[in-house]
Structure 1
């Protein structure tokens, strides 16, 4: 990305990540099949090419679109969500899926995987997604994280707020306006918020802390396999259209059962209320 006051450049961010992982350019060259000389050039400040980022993402375990954002480059259209802001219903899909038994969660993942890849939908009046622009303009890491969460995972700010609150079990309970403030830099990024982004993005907190130069002053939350699974489902759904997401939501809702009227909250997950009846799942 272009130089900005206070932003060290992609080469520095890559070096931070390698240092945190206690590895080096030599390992990365072998893992990515990129010549060491080219990687040293990137580490020294040369802009990475598209092919560099594609190969680096595979070697480092990042989604390619996320690495483009970290590098401060526009995400290529084939890597963008299929239909802009079609993900307004994703929070409901995740809310339902996370309370389903394992076999039914597997079924939902399989349903998503089996849906066909459709051509990208380009609305005549596309929604504004300024978060990457904020990152390009001032190099703020808050904008980087919000861009990955919203632009790459197809969430509006309200949907991002609901999704993060859900996956973090309320630890990241922020308003949509707060996410906007994080993106614009008017709300400085806090270590506790970084942990919430890590959970929702499905990126290890240590990696994000290294990239952003954040010192984690508090113990990180324990790994939550269910949240990690939901983060993967969230990513998988970014290639779906609005109608396909609606199909997945209906499939998940069909797996809910009527909650007995005298049931205890300790024994049941209540998910949605319809015509006087709660629908949900028994707690394990």
Structure 2
């Protein structure tokens, strides 16, 4: 099928007229694309999840919104690696942190967008644990304290951590992009109703030694501040779990975690101890 002289098929070949099968057809088409960037497939599925129209339409609107050349964006949808400027422009338009888009693209997060750390012995896990039992008012105060602390510019690149660029590696890099170490089973369960497993099991998601399930994807969505359906689209493992017992303030806690990502270990300790008094 063509529209205005352009194919509306997912990269790699035509699709049936049933729009419901479009995302699945894109998955199949991309599976044969070798070493090309995974970002195009992830963006394709996200646009389909959001708009449920032919992705070429959504991409055209996105190009106009971001002042990105439509041919350049179309090349990325077909497997080209996005450049730094494109990802920075796409972030606000998509409502996704630009730093996260670099992770989703399998690329190194630029120094000016990278979090602190990994910090030790304190990291953002302690921020999340502290926020879990707070009242709404106390969480607001905690957030104000976090945002009042100065952030020191990072001077060295954020590590890639050696994860293969699969679903598990992307999820663990997303939490690391919040200065949350991957040994985070407790907060994953408490915030997003993740599986009741130990820290080492969650850490092994990155290498692929533990199978990613929809429950994991849904839990990481809540911890990272994403709609579960959109995280499913980005990761490619679903469906989203709608009966989850996620924390009722998961969105606020995810925002706290994001705002604390630039703090040092000492600053995190200071913030946690201050609200405990």
Return the TM-score normalized by structure 1.
0.76
Match of 2:82 in 1: 48
Task: Report the Cα offset of residue 99 of structure 1.
Answer: 2.3
Q: 1:184 to 1:69 in 2, by over 3 A?
A: same
Query: Is 1:65 matched with 2:99?
Result: yes
Q: 1:245 and 1:134 mapped to 2: Cα distance?
A: 26
Residue in 2 that maps onto 1:230:
253
Report the counterpart of residue 101 of structure 1 in structure 2. Answer: 135
Q: Partners in 1 of 2:216 and 2:36 — Cα distance?
A: 20
Of the three residues 224, 234, 248, the one matched with 1:201 is: 224
Find the aligned partners of 2:187 and 2:246 in 1 and give their Cα distance.
17
Mark the CA change 1:217 to 1:25 in structure 2 (over 3 Å): closer, same or farther: closer
| Structure 2 unaligned regions, length at least 5 | 1-31
1:90 aligns with 2:124: yes
Using a 3 Å threshold, how does the CA distance of structure 1 residues 147 and 114 change in structure 2: closer, same or farther? same
Q: 1:153 to 1:86 in 2, by over 3 A?
A: farther
Residue in 1 that maps onto 2:205: 182
The residue aligned with 2:186 is: 162
1:250 and 2:251 aligned: no
CA contact (8 A) 2:217 2:240 kept: no
CA distance in 2, matches of 1:247, 1:230: 18
Structure 2 CA distance, aligned partners of 1:99 and 1:245? 17
Contact 1:65 1:80 in 2 (8 A): yes
Higher relative contact order (CA 8 A, sep 6+): 1
Count, aligned residues: 241
In structure 2, distance between residues paired with 1:215 and 1:100 = 31
Aligned to 2:178: 153
TM-score, with structure 2 as normaliser: 0.78
Over aligned residues, Cα RMSD in angstroms?
2.6
Instruction: Provide the residue aligned with 1:80 in structure 2.
Output: 114
Check conservation: 1:87, 1:245, Cα contact below 8 A: no
Task: Structure 1 unaligned segments of length 5 or more: list them.
Answer: 255-284
Deviation of 1:127 (Å): 10
Residue deviations 1:221-245 (CA, integer Å, cap 9, x gap): 3775411111111111111111111
